């Protein structure tokens, strides 16, 4: 889709190339080069082209078993997420729900929340359910439930706005002809949303296909995905060539899925622009409306809050009694770990600040190039900077591990490697908030300012800048939260003496004893609270709910 910053605010080709130079160099150095190295390792042996390792891996029973589980759990997770998210999106789109903003925020918290925190919360829930919870532990059902919880925000945000723009008279005509409410939605409403539903399904599939922390902790030892298997082959068996083939396989599927998602998103956006303006939402009136809204919103709120509540409850319990000792031990210097939990907390916050600033800088420059720049250059850059979003974080960390070990990018032991990886993951989130915000600005406002004698710079300062400033705060919150909870790449490249909160939680959950579990719950609770605060900042500064997340 072409940018709407047309005419006097459009940058020329030279200016566009100059502005996007830094993002392009950053992407080439820290994404293209590591991923390219993975691809070469998968197709080479002793410095020459050799497909033998690739053929051996792709024809092995283990690879097919891992690939099958990776695919079917992603498909089932996607279908389940759509089944839960579509009714919620429909209620928020059709009714004037007083708590709609709260529901959107509640669904966003799990999406931004670190996957290891979600896994820890579900472990706490399963522990509280007795025999039923024991049966769910280390099962495919646990993975799917956690994926639905994590990705609900994607479906709701992708469908609520286009749904609200549909012409209500079509449904009313169907109801007049005798169709029931459910049949009307299934045969009239949802077919008109097929592009938006397809785009949402593609991105949910992408996130569940590349899931790492949830599968690692909830799937058990017999259920691994390509992502988890890459981690195991690297850290447990040191089979870097096998891990390269696994990562290469995943990258191929991810790129195809991402291309499909972008195509559907662009078509859905075009269809939405051609649709009628958003209709006023219906007031809640009558027992049926009240029952539908209460059942949908109430159930969603309970489901979203329950794991968070149980996590907090478990963090203040030890040996069946209420205690704050789990939090007090976070500052215990007698730990057998290489770093205390307090040091892990400090590491995470300091890394998140650096990653946030880096992601904002690169993302803002890229946004200028995409939203105001030359057409074809902007389009290519927009697509290229979205690819890291679809590429698994563990694959990215693995690429860093094997590629950035020689000058001029000898960063394998550098403390800068982790914030660089986090920034690379955060940049797509920054852009997906900033670019739609710029494109949502009414061109008539710019034209009016120009007619009043304002220069191009004055127009940008007085029209665009106030709107973009708010979106920047929301983008900063996203980048900070994403960095704070990033686990996949960090598991590969974090130094043992400089753990982050997620890697420290992994260590404590991997050690026996209620004290270690209690400390993991306490650290996960702290991370959850900070994530919630970040989401509040995002929702407060979001401009008219624009942005893809």
Token duo for residue 428? 């797509």
According to the model, what pLDDT value does residue 221 have?
74
What pLDDT was estimated at residue 114?
77
Choice between 24 and 267, residue whose per-residue pLDDT is larger: 24
What average pLDDT does the structure give for the chain? 79
Angle subtended by helix axes 33-42 and 393-403, to nearest 10: 80
Place of tokens 């690739």: 54
pLDDT at residue 350, rounded to an integer: 92
Q: What is the pLDDT of residues 159-190, one digit of tens each?
A: 888 888 777 777 777 777 777 777 877 887 88
Contact 426, 482 (CB under 8 A): yes
Query: Percent of the chain at pLDDT above 90?
Result: 7
The pLDDT, as a whole number, for residue 2 is: 42
At 162 the pLDDT is 83
List the single range of 231-240, 379-388, 537-546 with lowest mean pLDDT. 537-546
Residue 535 has what pLDDT? Answer: 75
Q: How close are the terminal C-alpha atoms of the chain, in Å?
A: 18
pLDDT of residue 353: 93
- Measured CA angle at 57 (ends 51, 61), to 5 deg: 145
Is the pLDDT at 82 greater than 70, yes or no?
Answer: yes
Domains and CATH numbers, the chain: 1-47+324-549 (1.10.3720.10)
Provide the CB-side half-sphere exposure for 525 (13 A, CA): 20
Instruction: Return the pLDDT at 358.
Output: 95
pLDDT per position as a tens digit, 485-496: 787 778 778 877
Structure tokens at 87: 């009714």
Checking if the pLDDT of 408 tops 90, the result is no
Highest mean pLDDT among 371-385, 389-403, 504-518: 504-518
357 near 513, Cβ under 8 Å? no
Encoded tokens for 287: 């027992």
What is the pLDDT confidence band of residue 376, given thresholds at 50, 70 and 90? Answer: low
Confidence tier at 83 by pLDDT (50, 70, 90): very high
* DSSP 8-state symbol, 44: E
pLDDT higher than threshold 70 for residue 19: yes
Angle at 278 between CA 277 and CA 281, to 5 degrees: 150
Among 66-80, 83-97, 506-520, top mean pLDDT goes to: 66-80
Residue given tokens 């785009």 in the structure block: 199
Asked if pLDDT for residue 285 goes beyond 70, the answer is no
Please state, in angstroms and as integers, the Cα–Cα distance from residue 209 to each residue in 39, 147, 231, 235, 454, following that order: 19, 10, 15, 21, 50
User: Which of 83-87, 220-224, 464-468, 530-534 has the highest mean predicted lDDT (pLDDT)?
Assistant: 83-87
Looking at the chain, the whole-number percentage of residues with pLDDT higher than 70 is 85
Q: Which of 188, 176, 177, 179 is nearest to 90 (CA)?
A: 188
Can you tell me the mean pLDDT for 100-118? 78
**Can you give the pLDDT at residue 521?**
86
In 3-state terms, what secondary structure has residue 49?
A: strand
Q: What is the pLDDT of residue 1?
A: 40
Half-sphere exposure at residue 409, Cβ-oriented, CA atoms within 13 angstroms: 16
């Amino acid at each position: 889709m072409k940018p709407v910053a047309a005419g006097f605010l459009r940058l020329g080709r030279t200016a566009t190339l100059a502005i996007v130079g830094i993002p392009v160099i950053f992407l080439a150095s820290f994404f293209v080069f590591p991923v390219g190295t993975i691809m070469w390792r998968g197709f080479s042996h002793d410095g020459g082209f050799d497909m033998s390792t690739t053929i051996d891996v792709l024809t092995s029973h283990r690879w097919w078993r891992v690939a099958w589980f990776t695919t079917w759990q992603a498909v089932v997770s996607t279908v389940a997420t759509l089944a839960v998210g579509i009714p919620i999106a429909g209620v928020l789109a059709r009714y004037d729900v007083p708590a709609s903003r709260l529901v959107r925020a509640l669904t966003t918290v799990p999406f931004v929340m670190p996957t290891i925190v979600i896994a820890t919360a579900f472990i706490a829930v399963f522990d509280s359910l007795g025999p039923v919870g024991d049966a769910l532990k280390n099962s495919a059902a646990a993975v799917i439930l956690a994926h639905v919880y994590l990705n609900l925000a994607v479906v709701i945000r992708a469908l609520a706005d286009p749904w609200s723009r549909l012409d209500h008279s079509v449904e009313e005509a169907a109801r007049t002809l005798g169709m029931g409410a459910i049949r009307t939605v299934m045969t009239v409403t949802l077919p008109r949303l097929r592009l938006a539903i397809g785009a949402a399904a593609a991105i949910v599939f992408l996130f569940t296909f590349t899931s790492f922390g949830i599968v690692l902790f909830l799937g058990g030892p017999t259920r691994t995905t390509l992502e988890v298997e890459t981690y195991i082959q690297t850290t447990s068996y040191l089979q870097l060539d096998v891990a390269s083939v696994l990562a290469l396989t995943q990258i191929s599927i991810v790129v195809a899925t991402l291309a499909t998602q972008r195509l559907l998103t662009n078509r859905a956006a075009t269809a939405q622009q051609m649709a009628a303006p958003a209709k006023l939402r219906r007031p809640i009136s009558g027992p049926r409306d009240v029952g539908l809204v209460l059942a949908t919103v109430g159930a969603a709120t309970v489901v979203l809050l329950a794991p968070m509540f149980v996590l907090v409850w478990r963090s203040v319990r030890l040996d069946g009694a209420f205690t704050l000792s789990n939090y007090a031990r976070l500052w215990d210097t007698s730990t057998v770990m290489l770093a205390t939990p307090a040091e892990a907390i400090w590491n995470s916050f300091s890394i998140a600040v650096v990653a946030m600033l880096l992601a904002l800088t690169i993302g803002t420059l890229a946004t200028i190039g995409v939203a105001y720049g030359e057409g074809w250059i902007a389009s290519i850059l927009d697509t290229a900077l979205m690819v890291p979003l679809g590429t698994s974080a563990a694959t990215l960390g693995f690429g860093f591990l094997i590629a950035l070990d020689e000058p001029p990018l000898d960063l394998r032991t550098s403390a800068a490697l982790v914030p660089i990886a986090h920034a690379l993951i955060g940049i797509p989130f920054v852009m997906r908030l900033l670019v739609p915000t710029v494109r949502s600005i009414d061109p008539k406002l710019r034209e009016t300012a120009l007619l009043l004698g304002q220069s191009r710079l004055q127009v940008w300062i007085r029209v665009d800048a106030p709107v973009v400033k708010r979106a920047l705060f929301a983008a900063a919150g996203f980048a900070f939260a994403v960095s704070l909870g990033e686990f996949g790449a960090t598991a590969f490249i974090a130094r043992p003496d400089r753990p982050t909160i997620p890697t420290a939680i992994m260590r404590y959950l991997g050690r026996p004893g209620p004290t270690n579990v209690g400390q993991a719950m306490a650290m996960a609770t702290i991370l959850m609270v900070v994530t919630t605060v970040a989401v509040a900042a995002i929702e407060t500064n979001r401009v008219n709910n624009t942005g893809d997340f």
